[in-house]
Amino acid sequence: MLNNIINKLPDGRAENELAHYLRKLPEHESSALMETLLKHNSDVVRESSLRLIPRVIRDRSVLIKFLDMGLEKKNVSGTKPWIKATVSGLGYKKLLQHMKKVAETNPDWILYAWYQLVPLVIKEAPEKIQYLQEIEKIIDAHLCNELKGSWLRTKEAVPI
């Protein structure tokens, strides 16, 4: 049954069926299945799975894990769907607090997310801009020298 639904993605009905199926499962099982779907070879399945996260996953630690999966990819254009998928469950404050922690340990992840992150926060949560400023300072202090030039160009291209 599950494979039949997955084969029909990105059809809206198939996504609804999958969401319904996942919501019936215990949280840990639906989280594990979502993680598998997010690692699927098919872009279509991954994109559908990202759309399902806000409808299925409520556990903040799982949302953080999925956000990290997206950030870890270091894909400038691919970061936005991961942020959008997790922010509805986390809220911008929790999302940005987590990004501050990530900036200390993996500042390069935030470097690649910056192009998408700044416009999203400015548009959807302008009252949280101070978090972006704090993240920017952390990256300035922690980023390796090889990526400093790229970071400076990114900050100029996407100012807070």
17 residue type, one letter: E
Predicted TM-score (pTM) of this structure: 0.92
Average of pLDDT values for 66-94? 96
Angle (deg, nearest 10), helices 12-24 and 27-38:
140
Task: Report pLDDT for 26.
Answer: 95
The answer on pLDDT for 113 being more than 80 is yes
The answer on pLDDT for 34 being more than 80 is yes
The answer on pLDDT for 62 being more than 90 is yes
Chain segment 131-151, per-residue pLDDT in tens: 999 999 999 999 999 999 999
How many residues make up the chain in this entry?
A: 160
Task: Report pLDDT for 154.
Answer: 95
- Where does the pLDDT of residue 7 fall: very low under 50, low under 70, confident under 90, or very high at 90 and above? confident
- Token pair 């920017």: residue: 136
The answer on pLDDT for 59 being more than 80 is yes
Task: Report pLDDT for 121.
Answer: 97
Task: Give me the chain's average pLDDT, please.
Answer: 95
